[in-house]
Amino acid sequence: VKAQNLKNAVIVPVGAKGGFVLKAPPEDRQELREEVEDCYRTFVRRLLDVTDNIVGDEVVPPNRVVRYDGDDPYLVVAADKGTATFSDTANALSAEYGFWLGDAFASGGSVGYDHKTMGITARGAWESVKHHFREMGLDVGTQEFTCVGIGDMSGDVFGNAMLLSEHIRLVAAFDHRHIFLDPQPDPARSFAQRRRLFELPRSSWDDYDPEVISEGGGVWLRTAKSITLSDQGRHALDVEAETLTPDELIQAILRAPVDLLFNGGIGTFVKAHDETHADVGDKMTDRVRIDASELRAKVVGEGGNLGFTQPGRVEYALAGGRINTDAIDNSAGVDTSDHEVNIKILLDGLVADGELTRKQRNALLVEMTDEVAALVLRSNDEQNRALSRSLVHAHAMSDVLRRYLRHLDESGDLSRELEYLPDDETLVERRNDGVGLVRPEFAIILAATKTALYGKLLNSDVCEDPWLSRTLETYFPSILQERYPEEIRAHRLSREIIATRVANQVVNQAGTTFLFRIAEETGASAADIVRAHTVASAVFGLADLQAAVRDLDHRVPAATQTLMVVEGRRLVERGSRWLLRNRPRPLDISASTEFFGAGVAIVADLLPGPMHGADRRSRDQTSGTLVEAGVPVALAERVANLPALYAALDLVATADAVDEDVTVVTRAYLTLAQRLHLDWLRQQIVALPRDTRWQALARDAMRDDFDAQHRMLTAEVLRATDRGAEAQERVDGWLRRNAAQVRRCERMLAEIEAITSSDLAVLSVGVREIRNLVDVTV
């Protein structure tokens, strides 16, 4: 259930787990299947009996039902263990009841997206695998790597996953029937065998051609009393014993020193060292389960659910292992179902209006399969990148994270105890040890943050903003965007889709604590913060920057890519804060983007030309470091210019206030910074400690005050000088006319610069001197 709650962050409905138990299951296999399907019909009928329906445009409550909540006609069911082939059965019941969703009620049926055929769950998990290895400098699409796995080639997730790279060296695997061992696999020949088994109906590891297995390998039944290992097998698994029981061999496979452990099976195989088997609650795997501290695989991919306990994941990650959570890795299945349902709702409206036939609708669904998959996989990729960005400042932001976890717990958005998130004492201990939260923990927080934001957006009017309707359009495949734009905008679940997509975009881009911190600092609502972030992202071109950085995959180190995007994220965060403090709320997203967009672009084109002093040196150093790492010069310079680009908002606003061209304002602003050493003063303010909340608030307040004084000084200089002269001449003329005040300011700043370590009190004197210049200007 917890995994489902986390997956809800990327889909429209609030998903839940449901099921039923057969009290007297038949022993005959065919009779058992018929009994299960009959019970499933009863189960689904009862769900429909208490669910609202839509007839025409009216919500119709079910007969003889007393409702204690409001209208809620949205109910869909998805394939799961034991019911994976029952979608058509559920859809037949939907038709029988006249349920408004029709065959969108149960995704993945005969007229829907077959997850195994698409391989979508495996492909989604493989995005995580690729990301982990990319951070290690390895491309799984072109370089060989060793792997052990849980599952067999007849399974959807494991079977599809093991065909996603021809460079997999699958050393060992097991399922509920067999154990497979290939100590020195030939990548090409073993890939061909895995494909043959995948295409062979009801295959098992026993169908693997023994001629392809390397010397010392084999396939054994799990019911065998004992298994004698060859020297090659013992070397591959790094075990000393010559004879093992099947359970002991499975444990040896789980402990194998390989690059990847991929789970595509059923069961919980890894726990934390301080958990008991009873704590895990999966008796079927008690005999083979190991502790996370025993794992030697470098990367874990969780294609299956519940392969690890959450404490097990955390223990493995704290030891340096690369792992997310099952909810992150295998979310592509529910995401695909979500797209199918919403696409069918759209198309069924067209069928009802006579604009499409049922046959045309079905053909269109097939035509869009690849693009639906691409949309889903992009979500998996973005979540992985978001988690990596969260880790960059995990230790430095430990105080903020501690406060944020308390906030989530107190607001009911997350239970630290149930989600095995560290308490305050543990977080302090980790900080003292130089350790922060790890990926599996951030995965929980990421999902909880998205879910909480979704609810706040849905209860606001931000989903009606015309600008954000673009997120609704791009949720759908391009062919639907082109043919049916009006119908998309009128989609029955348009607000829910917008809220889901915006919540995902903002949290993925800005990070898990962004909204919490900005709300603390400004008192703004979630909707207002989202508006500001949307404007700042648009005017600073964050999406384009992220796309350009993504194109560098496997060309530059992944850590360099992450830091480049973090630099863009920092700029957008500061821009969001500026907009909330300097513009009236609620922001008109379209108007604000138009007002600032052109001017910010002009400033970006000017840089780094007018930059001087410390800012220019810092900028050139950043650019040089990125180029050395392999980043193209143009992109390296763009990223290096980002810190200076923050001032563009001030510059555009100032240009509007004094009725001057933004180019003139920019040159005057930067000339003042160079003449008065303001760039150095600003860098000292930015370098102030922010270990605690109060330090961070004090630093931000001083930085905002400094920026405001710099902006006002620029405006006063331009108002007091001749428009016909060059910007530098106007600044120099103003400095001469105000020489006495300028000399006092320069002396004070020189004294501050001579101090070895500047603190808040010292720097506040420097900001006051700038304010004095504004007050006495002539």
Q: Indicate the domain borders of the chain.
A: 2-117, 137-321, 333-371, 513-645, 649-778
The whole-number average pLDDT for the span 19-30 is 86
Tokens 């420097």 found at: 766
pLDDT at residue number 13 = 60
Between CA 575 and CA 510 the distance in angstroms is 12
> Looking at residue 23, what is its pLDDT?
87
Which stretches does DSSP call E strand in 152-308?
168-174, 178-181, 218-221, 227-228, 243-244, 260-263, 270-271, 290-291, 299-302
For residue 172, give both structure tokens: 């060992």
Strand locations in 222-341 (E): 227-228, 243-244, 260-263, 270-271, 290-291, 299-302
Considering only 4-8, 130-134, 161-165, 370-374, which range has the smallest mean pLDDT?
4-8
Residue 15: what pLDDT? 65
336 backbone dihedrals φ, ψ, rounded to 5°: -65, -45
DSSP code of 219? E
C-alpha–C-alpha distance, residues 393 and 509, integer Å: 15
Which pTM value belongs to this model?
0.91
* Known active-site residue 130: no
Contacts of 522 (CB under 8 A, 6+ apart): 529, 577, 580, 581
What's the CA gap between 142 and 252, in Å, rounded?
Answer: 28
Q: What is the mean pLDDT of residues 220-241?
A: 96
Per the listing, tokens 């154990």 go with 179
H or E element, residue 54: strand 53-55
- The answer, yes or no, to whether residue 777 has pLDDT greater than 90, is no
Residue 689 has pLDDT above 80, yes or no: yes
Whether the per-residue pLDDT at 613 is higher than 80: the answer is no
Burial 510-548 (b: 16+ CB within 10 A, else e): bbbbbbbbbbbbbebbbbbbbbbbbbbbbbbbbeebbeb
250/688 Cα distance (integer angstroms): 53
DSSP letter, residue 721 = S
181 and 192 Cβ atoms separated by less than 8 Å: no
Query: Alpha-carbon dihedral of residues 431, 437, 438, 440, nearest 10 degrees?
Result: 150
Residue 696 scores a pLDDT above 90: no
In this predicted structure, the answer to whether residue 611 has a pLDDT above a threshold of 90 is no
Peptide bond into 586 cis (omega under 30): yes
3.10.450.50, 3.30.460.10, 3.40.50.720, 3.50.50.60: which CATH number matches 137-321?
Answer: 3.40.50.720
Q: How far apart are CA 439 and CA 458, in angstroms?
A: 28
Q: Which of 331, 25, 284, 309 is nearest to 175 (CA)?
A: 284
CB 660 within 8 A of CB 673: no
Q: Flag the least confident range among 17-21, 172-176, 256-260, 725-729.
A: 17-21
pLDDT, mean of residues 37-49: 92
Judge contact between 681 and 749, C-beta under 8 A: yes
Name the amino acid, one letter, at 255.
Answer: R
pLDDT per residue over 643-657, tens digit each? Answer: 989 999 999 999 999
Q: Catalytic residue among 2, 7, 17, 23, which?
A: 17
**What distance in Å separates the CA atoms of residue 407 and residue 2, rounded to the nearest whole number?**
20
Helix (H) or strand (E) holding 706: helix 693-719
- Residue 158's CB is within 10 A of a number of other CB atoms, namely 26
pLDDT digits (tens, 9 = 90+) for 5-15: 555 566 666 66
Model pLDDT, residue 683: 84
Half-sphere CA count of 512, side-chain side, radius 13 A: 34
d(CA 369, CA 388): 29
What is the average per-residue pLDDT within 152-166? 96
- Asked if 644 and 607 touch (Cβ cutoff 8 Å), the reply is yes
535 pLDDT above the threshold of 90: yes
The single-letter code of the amino acid at 591 is A
Q: How confident is the model at residue 724 (pLDDT cuts 50, 70, 90)?
A: confident
pLDDT at 778: 53
pLDDT value of residue 4: 52
Q: Name the CA radius of gyration of the chain, rounded.
A: 30
Give residue 684's pLDDT.
Answer: 87
Q: Please report, rounded to a whole number, the percentage of residues in the chain having pLDDT higher than 90.
A: 77
Query: Where are any strands of DSSP class E within 257-384?
Result: 260-263, 270-271, 290-291, 299-302
Query: Residue 27: what pLDDT?
Result: 87
Single-letter residue type at 681? L
Pairing type for strands 299-302 and 260-263 reads: parallel
Q: What is the DSSP letter of 43?
A: H
Q: In this predicted structure, what is the pLDDT of residue 33?
A: 87
Summary count for the chain: helices (H), strands (E): 36, 12
Return the sign of the alpha-carbon dihedral for residues 248, 253, 254, 257.
Answer: positive
Average pLDDT, the chain: 92
Q: Compute the average pLDDT of residues 618-630.
A: 94
Q: Are 154 and 198 in contact, with CB atoms under 8 Å apart?
A: yes
Residue type, 228: T
